[in-house]
Structure formats: C-alpha cells, structure tokens
Amino acid sequence: MSKITTRMKRHVRHVLKDENPTIWVGKEGLTPQLAAEIEKQLQRTKMVKVRILPAALQGEVTAQTIGAKAAEQTNSALVEVRGHVFILFRKHKAEEEPSQP
C-alpha cells in the first residue's frame, strides 16, 4: 500500500464527495476481474470510489477488510471507509525515461 498525507486525503475526499461510486463489489467479493478494473480506473483517474453491496458483507468480512485488500492488490492508498463505500487513491506512476546507450 502506498502512503498518503492527511492533506491529500482531505483533497481526495473533497473531490469525490458528490461523485457516485464507479465500481460495485458484489456477493462474490473482490475478484481478479474487479481488481483489474480498479487498476484500470486508477491509471486513468488516480482515484476510485467503490461501493460494497450488502451481499458481499457475509460473516467476518467488513468494508474495511475489503478496502484494505483492494488497496494491497492495486498498490494504492485506502483514503476512507464510510459505511459500505471506500475510496482508493494512487499517484500516477512517473513514466520511465528511456535509458541512453
């Protein structure tokens, strides 16, 4: 998981406060296809808002554990978990400069 400052967390929450979630976690939980979609959206927009459907929260599974697992799989920072919604953020990776021979 990447680190994020408190100021940056506040900025991300402010930007996404009126946005609807773009990804929904269903009863199957966090699947590889879902992790790939989160990865794709993080590359495009740096931040993703994810909603967890109540069917995914069976037994010992909580929104916090699903959010932490998603952040770990995508190498991003878990900004906030509020109810059944969590926010992930990752800085754009700097493009590697071509090495000169």
Over residues 18-35, the pLDDT tens digits come to 999 999 999 998 999 999
Name the nearest CA neighbour of 67 among 51, 54, 55: 51
Contact 49, 87 (CB under 8 A): yes
Say whether pLDDT at 96 is over 90.
no
Output the six-digit token pair for 18. Answer: 């009126």
User: Residue 21 — φ and ψ, nearest 5°?
Assistant: -60, 145
Give the full edge-to-edge strand order of the sheet including 47-52: 23-25, 47-52, 85-89, 77-82
d(C-alpha 26, C-alpha 31), whole Å:
9
Quote the pLDDT of residue 92.
Answer: 74
Other beta carbons within 10 angstroms of residue 100's beta carbon come to: 4
pTM, two decimals, is: 0.84
- Amino acid making up residue 101: P
Say whether pLDDT at 2 is over 80.
no
Quote the pLDDT of residue 48.
Answer: 95
Indicate the CATH number for domain 6-89.
Answer: 3.30.110.60
Quote the pLDDT of residue 95.
Answer: 43
